[in-house]
Amino acid sequence: MAQLEAVSERRKPASAAQIDVAIVGGGLAGLYALHRLRGLGLTARVYEAGSGVGGTWFWNRYPGARCDIESLEYSYSFSEELQNDWTWPERYATQPAILEYINHVADRFDLRRDIQLNTRIASASYARATHRWTLETREGERITARFCVMATGNLSTPRVPDFKGLETFQGQWYHSGLWPHDGVDFTGQRVGVIGTGSTAIQMIPLIAQQAQHLFVFQRTANFSLPARNAPMDPERERRHKARYAQRVREARETGFGVPGYPIPTQSALAVSEEERRRKYEELWEAGGTIGFLNCYNDFLVDEKANETAAGFVREKIRSIVRDPAVAELLAPKDHPIGSKRLCADTNYYETYNRDNVTLVDVKSAPIEEITPRGLRTAGQEYELDAIAFAIGFDAMTGALREIDIRVEGGEALAEKWLAGPRTYLGLMVAGFPNMFVITGPGSPGVKSQMIHSIEQHVDWIADCLAHLQTKGLAFIEPEQDAEDRWVSHVNEVADATLYPRANSWYVGANIPGKPRVFMPYVGGVAAYRRKCDEIAAQGYKGFLLGR
């Protein structure tokens, strides 16, 4: 009986009003944070704006949405049983398959009783006197917590389409990041897709198969490599699972958190053209992007080395796309390959050989306005029944800036970040005690296999909270100096690479008026993990801790 009571006690939801840890966001990061922090005996609760768990995989339901990291890798590693029991049907899982997996995790680890859906956090305010955060939801509910974990995601605030005349459009329009849950049938329609980033590159081949005519409005051409998706090879899956624990360890010694791709040591310029080409051909045939990013040590550092790969991909585009003028428009020439997110596709370039697809260059003739009947560029009006905006997100900082985060008597986070985000390790912000960010700006999150980084961040946070518990400490916050040094380091590392050369969301270039600051840490997950571990081992060097 006593045992039963203990079980039922454990199953009770954490009290909503006063908890140890408020976790904002119920995606992959929020769910693992809940699981891990519960394991410390803390009361924790997730607040999620959506009507279901899954974060990015809950919202991004556009045609063709799937992960471009192989699913055997893009899975949680904290439970080997979970990994062994789960079967991914394809090499790269679709959005519905990933969402099913996330829901399975929520059930399997009994997470739902501490997840409050349909709840958007509007503000979070910290009182130094009591060492507590007070969060307020849009509906006015108040929650107080000793710690706040922002699991708000990096690509969770869709960029609002701000095209002149949009309100006059008589057709339907959609944003990739807020796609209708029942899907959209474009059969027989004239459709416009705006954007040619990773999202558009996935949706274009599928919409082209449905639409009467598809117009793709391209401002900047992107590099894309064939994904070579296929049904899961059972033998490959068996081998993968047999070496699972070892693979997880290996992933830690890589740049991007994907095992099988150790940090390269050879320059692209140190080998013959023939050898390079052989390698690029092999990688092109194998599919996926991680091989390319890891093929030579100067791929993302030296312009000449990079150009060897960029030239190879441009040649491929010209060999696939039959109309030479279209091929030229599709062949990127204004940024190094990999300096923007390298895309993975299924029949992207091939789609431009279809009679019902037109590529419209909106760099030379920009979009002027959306009209009631379609869209007008500097040169022409295009009649459209539907528009799909694949124009991206207010990345990395958008979701945090949407919440009014402040410390009583101090400045708001949005004010502090006016000139760009500043963090220590991407994990905490000076002046904002007891608030942790998962895969925030200044961390390698978005430049890695996200789940790898999520787990590393959450584990670090969990160890930190355990340390505070053991020592009887009430708060932790970064020293200003430590934060300044980390921000300089993040910039130095980025400046030694080709990344800042591109107008990408990594530098906020896609949001008009956003300060141009390179946000991710691109020193790789291995170096980053070592740094985080060293800092913890030195008694949380660079942090102020107190009672």
- 260 — alpha (psi -120 to 50), left (phi > 0) or beta? left
The rounded distance, in Å, linking the Cα atoms of 203 and 205 is 6
The answer to the question of residue 203 lying near ligand NAP (CB under 6 A) is no
Helix runs in 14-133, H state only: 28-38, 56-59, 80-85, 95-108
The rounded distance, in Å, linking the Cα atoms of 16 and 14 is 6
* Contact predicate 259/251, CB 8 Å: yes
Can you spell out the DSSP letters for 172-207? EEEEGGG--TT----TT-EEEEE--SHHHHHHHHHH
The CA distances from residue 163 to 366, 370, 377, in Å, are 11, 7, 12
The answer to the question of residue 390 lying near ligand NAP (CB under 6 A) is yes
Among 197, 226, 338, 478, binds ligand NAP (CB under 6 A): 197
What's the closest the beta carbon of residue 178 comes to ligand NAP, in angstroms? 12
What's the closest the beta carbon of residue 222 comes to ligand NAP, in angstroms? 7
The answer to the question of residue 220 lying near ligand NAP (CB under 6 A) is yes
Residues 6+ apart with CB under 8 A from 439: 29, 154, 426, 445, 446, 450, 453, 454, 457
The answer to the question of residue 347 lying near ligand NAP (CB under 6 A) is no
Rank residues 121 and 446 by Cβ distance to ligand NAP and give the closer one. 446
The answer to the question of residue 71 lying near ligand NAP (CB under 6 A) is no
Binding-residue total with ligand NAP (CB under 6 A): 24
The answer to the question of residue 453 lying near ligand NAP (CB under 6 A) is no
What's the closest the beta carbon of residue 501 comes to ligand NAP, in angstroms? 13
What's the closest the beta carbon of residue 390 comes to ligand NAP, in angstroms? 5
What's the closest the beta carbon of residue 514 comes to ligand NAP, in angstroms? 12
Region near ligand NAP per CB under 6 A, out of 9-17, 213-221, 319-327, 465-473: 213-221
The rounded distance, in Å, linking the Cα atoms of 503 and 363 is 14
DSSP symbol at 420:
S
Rank residues 199 and 439 by Cβ distance to ligand NAP and give the closer one. 199
What's the closest the beta carbon of residue 509 comes to ligand NAP, in angstroms? 7
The rounded distance, in Å, linking the Cα atoms of 395 and 197 is 13
The answer to the question of residue 505 lying near ligand NAP (CB under 6 A) is yes
The rounded distance, in Å, linking the Cα atoms of 69 and 91 is 9
What's the closest the beta carbon of residue 442 comes to ligand NAP, in angstroms? 17
What's the closest the beta carbon of residue 219 comes to ligand NAP, in angstroms? 3
What's the closest the beta carbon of residue 398 comes to ligand NAP, in angstroms? 12
Nearest residue to ligand NAP by CB is 197
Among 194, 204, 427, 461, binds ligand NAP (CB under 6 A): 194
Rank residues 50 and 410 by Cβ distance to ligand NAP and give the closer one. 50
The vertex-537 CA angle with 536 and 543, nearest 5°, equals 40
Amino acid at position 287, single letter: G
Binding mask 134-173 for ligand NAP (x = CB under 6 A): ---------------------x------------------
By three-state DSSP, how is residue 144 classified?
A: strand
By three-state DSSP, how is residue 131 classified?
A: coil
Among 43, 202, 339, 497, binds ligand NAP (CB under 6 A): 202
**CB-based burial label for 514 (10 Å; 0-12, 13-18, 19+):** middle
Half-sphere exposure of 285 (CA within 13 A, CB side): 6
The answer to the question of residue 434 lying near ligand NAP (CB under 6 A) is no
The answer to the question of residue 192 lying near ligand NAP (CB under 6 A) is no
Binding mask 21-60 for ligand NAP (x = CB under 6 A): ----------------------------------------
The rounded distance, in Å, linking the Cα atoms of 400 and 24 is 10
Sheet holding 367-371, edge to edge: 367-371, 374-377, 381-383
Binding mask 350-369 for ligand NAP (x = CB under 6 A): ------------x----x--
- The footprint of ligand NAP (CB under 6 A) covers 67-68, 155, 176, 194-200, 202, 217, 219-220, 341, 362, 367, 390-393, 505, 510
